[in-house]
Structure 1
Amino acid sequence: MILDRAITVVGAHAEGEVGRVITGGVLPPKGATMFERMQNLEKDSSWLRNMLLFDPRGSVNAAVNLITPPIRPDADLGMLVMESDYFVPMSGSNLICTVTVALETGMIAKRGAETVVRVDTPAGLVEVVADCSGDKCRRITFRNVPSFVMHRDKHVEVPGLKTLRVDVAYGGMIYCIVDTADVGVGLRRDEARDLVALGELIKSAAAEQLPSVHPENPEIHTINQTEFAGPLEIVNGVKTSKNAVVVSPGRLDRCPCGTGTAARMALLHARGELASGERFVHTSILDTEFQCRIVGAATTGNVPAIIPEISGRAWLTGISHYGVDPEDPFPEGYRLSDSWFQ
């Protein structure tokens, strides 16, 4: 067997969302910061994302993460996230997968029942506490980057729909948040394809009509995803809500979505519906859960922000070695609209 670019990848999923982790065969991209590394990875090595995520080696429902040495001296590792359409500054589910893989494969040593891991991401430093009781990584709890509202109660014109009220918030990516009651959806599994088509229409309209620029990093400036937010309810004495995030070019996030959860918490806090320290459970279309709370206040530029804490689990699914046969006609894969939608 002759393979060019032999790459080792550990499979994992976080509460249902697939986040594969590269553990060997790739050198870190250059850059003075993790954000520069992300930009250089996208500019110079997009073949890596394409090879691992596009057909025939990958699939539309996966993301892939590259572990690198950190830039910051107070961090334990660096993480770069590659999704189907975007190289993103931060992803909660991918962080949960990456730290779980790093601990379970020994790349980072477990240090007791509560192991602290500091992750250098393009969005900033994220501190993780890993539950490693019984010498197994059972749960990841992380304090995300400051999260904040960018637009409140704005209206966008969506082709084929009435004028739609939306909110826009940042939690490591920029989300257009839509109440399910406003579009008549119930976040059921059999609605998945319809949610994807609707979410992509809303995202495109909102990105054009609501310019959204991070106040400290103008390179973060595009609404990435639509988040359908279900009603806030009290379940067993805890505030709970279901959500579904549409990941471009057209699929649903299988888990409650970490950065989407952070953005939603910022919006709930701004509305006076979620207090600091109050428990919040965010659930997915698969009914998996993230356990959450707001642990502090911050400012980003001059914008009020929160520090969200999010907790979820990941499971390893296998180890694979990927590469390219020198005669393969699809060294970077391909995308067809039957599964990729665009």
Structure 2
Amino acid sequence: MLSTVGTYHVVDSHTLGQTTRVIFSGGPKLAGTSVREKREDFKARFEHLKGIWLTEPRGTVSAFGLLLVPSQVADFGAIFMGTTTYEDMCGHGTIGLAATLVALGTLQAGRDDGFTLEVPAGVVSVKVLWNEDGSFSGAKLYNIPSYVYGDPLLVDTTFGQVTVDLVHSGMIYALIDAGKLSLTLEPDNLPTIINTGVTLKDEIFAAFSTREDLTSQGLHGVLFYEEEPDHDGSCSSKHVLVVGPQRYDRSPCGTGTAARLTHLVQQGRIKEGGAYRAFNLHGSNFTARPAKMADGKITAEVEGTAHIMAFSNLVVEKTDPFVSGFRSRFWK
């Protein structure tokens, strides 16, 4: 007989390589009206649960979690969390949630077209795509409106002067042409990609540290992209998001794809009816289109799919020496 301090029901999925662990039972009751307020209460009182849900030995270095919470303004609420961070919005996690809700029978073909989701950044909508046999095909996410922060920045960095475009698409991204750094976006080059991204993130943030509009939200990550020729009003590129040491997005990054789409629309390279295909390091892609353009902001439609990997009960025994988990570091 087990002597436990907690049991948590979770569903694990991956969205084109990046995992999402949805905690749908066993989570705490949170104070607050909005999802943002609930997240702040979670951070203040239940931070230790992240260690249980996401870090080793029950999780992994790259684990990502989504805590389902009630919402007063949408069908569901979601608190997004990495092992060391929280995110205001997450595209891959939202698509992973869609796959999870279908797997649990909460959403069904012929009855449910989609759902709305309150996240800390606001409310997004999701259209579920069905196969003819009623199984899950994928989802279209209609993201928080995105916009470019003015002109590109010229930043003096360890790697020389770098041109940086800042885009807000639920969080702030620094977009950088990898070719200008002679940075090859290939799996074998991943340690260099991550170390370069971490260094640039710190140096870019320092460059705009006097801008209150930016520092109040912080810089979520550096999105490296490789340019490819445009074709019939559409674009495609490989890109990699670096968030921090050991932290990069295995998926093509949903909100990062929305940011890059917004950047391309501002440049005039994608117009209404055009599309952007964003590939990850492993050859899978999201497809993004401008669903709405108004007042200098873009509502991006981001299409992708996710796959269920496990239905699990996470158990914490009283005698477990790693109740709060631990984090391993492999790269500087």
- TM-score, scaled relative to structure 1: 0.90
Could you tell me which of 280, 305, 319 is aligned with 1:313?
305
Correspondence 1:1-342 to 2 at 5 A: 1-72=2-73, 75-106=74-105, 108-112=106-110, 115-133=113-131, 134-158=133-157, 160-211=158-209, 221-234=217-230, 238-299=234-295, 304-338=296-330, 341=331
Q: Which consecutive unaligned segments of at least 5 residues does structure 2 have?
A: none
CA distance in 2: counterparts of 1:213 and 1:101, whole angstroms: 40
Cα deviation for residue 265 of structure 1 reads 1.1
Decide whether the 8 Å contact of 2:9 with 2:25 is kept in 1. Answer: yes
Structure 1 Cα separation of the partners of residues 36 and 307 of structure 2? 28
Q: Which whole-Å CA distance do the structure 2 matches of 1:166 and 1:101 have between them?
A: 36
Letter in 2 for 1:46: E
1:220 shift after superposition: 5.5
Q: Secondary structure at the match of 2:136?
A: coil
Question: How many angstroms apart in 2 are the aligned matches of 1:289 and 1:235?
Answer: 17
CA RMSD of aligned residues (A): 2.1
The C-alpha deviation readout for 1:85-142, integer Å capped at 9, x for no partner, is 2211110000000121012102x33252861211111111111110133221211101
Mapped to 2, the partners of 1:101 and 1:275 lie a distance apart of: 33
Quickly say closer, same or farther: Cα 1:126–1:144, change in 2 above 3 A. same
Give the total of aligned pairs: 330
In structure 2, the CA distance between the partners of 1:42 and 1:276, relative to structure 1 (3 Å rule), is farther
Specify every segment of 5 or more residues in structure 1 that has no aligned partner in the other structure, as ranges.
none
Mapped partners of 1:211, 1:150: distance in 2: 14
Residue type at the aligned position of 2:56: D
Distance 2:210 2:98 in 1: 30
Distance 1:235 1:193, change over 3 A: farther
Q: Normalized against structure 2, the TM-score is what?
A: 0.93
Q: Deviations over 1:63-83 (max 9, x none)?
A: 0101112121xx211111011
Distance 1:35 1:231 in 2: 36
Partner Cα distance (1:149, 1:236) in 2 = 24
Q: Is the 8 A contact 2:20 2:96 kept in 1?
A: yes
Bigger shift: 60-69 or 146-155? 146-155
Q: Please tell me whether the aligned partners of residues 114 and 131 of structure 1 are also in contact (alpha carbons under 8 angstroms).
A: no
Q: Which amino acid aligns with 2:82?
A: E
What letter corresponds to residue 288 of structure 2 in structure 1?
A: C
Q: How far does the alpha carbon of each residue in 1:134-191 deviate from its partner, in whole angstroms, 9 at most, with x for none?
A: 2212111011010111253212232x32121111111112111110111111211101
